[in-house]
Amino acid sequence: MTVKTGSTTMHIGELAERTGLSLRTIRHYDEVGLLPATARTDGGFRVYSEDDLERLTVIKQMKPLGFSLEEMADILTILRDGQGQGSAPGNSEKLSEYLEKATHQRAKMARNLAQADEFIKRISGH
């Protein structure tokens, strides 16, 4: 179900379908303030925009890297505000720290995946 309000919007079900996330997860992100609905219908249903879809995609990318909800909110704010003129002082440094954390976590995940592959290879011969 899509509602037109000047730009393309969608209900939570379509957002869930497009991202592969559950309704419960999306509602949770709304409740904790990571992904507040753009609007509500007269009946109280959440309505999301394409920008919300992009924001949720970024949240989904951050989740396996172990970022806390507070860190995710901070990163989303930094990304929204951009790094150009007028951006908050220290944003570039903060983003560099988050990049370092993400890179470290990804390397750890890659090591774990390699170990899992070795285990699967070991037991597949038996």
Q: Which domains does the chain have, with CATH numbers?
A: 9-124 (1.10.1660.10)
Q: In this structure, what token pair is assigned to residue 21?
A: 């996330």
Helices (H), the chain: 12-19, 23-31, 50-62, 69-81, 91-124
pLDDT higher than 50, residue 31: yes
- Global pTM value: 0.80
For residue 86, pLDDT beyond 60: no
Distances (CA, A) of 98 to 34, 68, 88, 101, 104: 17, 11, 16, 5, 10
pLDDT of residue 1: 39
Sign of CA dihedral 72, 106, 94, 87: negative
Residue 98 has pLDDT above 80, yes or no: yes
Is a pLDDT exceeding 90 seen at residue 34? yes
Q: Mean pLDDT over all residues of the chain?
A: 89
Residues 102 and 84: their CA atoms lie apart, in Å, by 22
Q: What percent of the chain has pLDDT over 70?
A: 90
Taking 70 as the threshold, does the pLDDT of residue 87 lie above it?
no
Mean pLDDT of 23-47: 92
